[in-house]
Amino acid sequence: MQYVLMNVYLSENNQIEGRPAYEAVIMLLKESKIAGATAFRGIEGYGVHSKIHTSGILRLCAELPIVVQVVEKEEKIKGIIPILREILPNELIITQKIDVVSGDGL
């Protein structure tokens, strides 16, 4: 069975219907019966606009990078991508085929 790693790249300030986008994405994935998802907060990064976002002590930043990461069967990921593209039309979403060598529930 083929598995896929999907990363959804966001910013802390991304919102969907008044709540943080990463929370909305996690809830959508859970409701869609995706095996699991994790949101990671980055300490520094930049995107296509080349603006650095950092958690440095001298800078207060509410735009730190967030990555929502999912490992799931390929057919389930293919089914959720159109919904993610609709609610996050401008955000980077990547997938790559992977081999799962260990893990319960997949």
Q: List the chain residues with pLDDT less than 50.
A: 58
**What pLDDT is attached to residue 38?**
97
**What pLDDT is attached to residue 83?**
97
Q: What angle do CA 4, 93, 41 make, to 5 degrees?
A: 95
**What pLDDT is attached to residue 102?**
87
**What pLDDT is attached to residue 25?**
98
* pTM of the model as a whole: 0.86
Candidates 14, 84, 90, 12; CA nearest to 45 is 12
**What pLDDT is attached to residue 43?**
80
CATH class of 3-98: alpha beta
Q: How many CB atoms lie within 10 A of CB 26?
A: 19
**What pLDDT is attached to residue 7?**
98
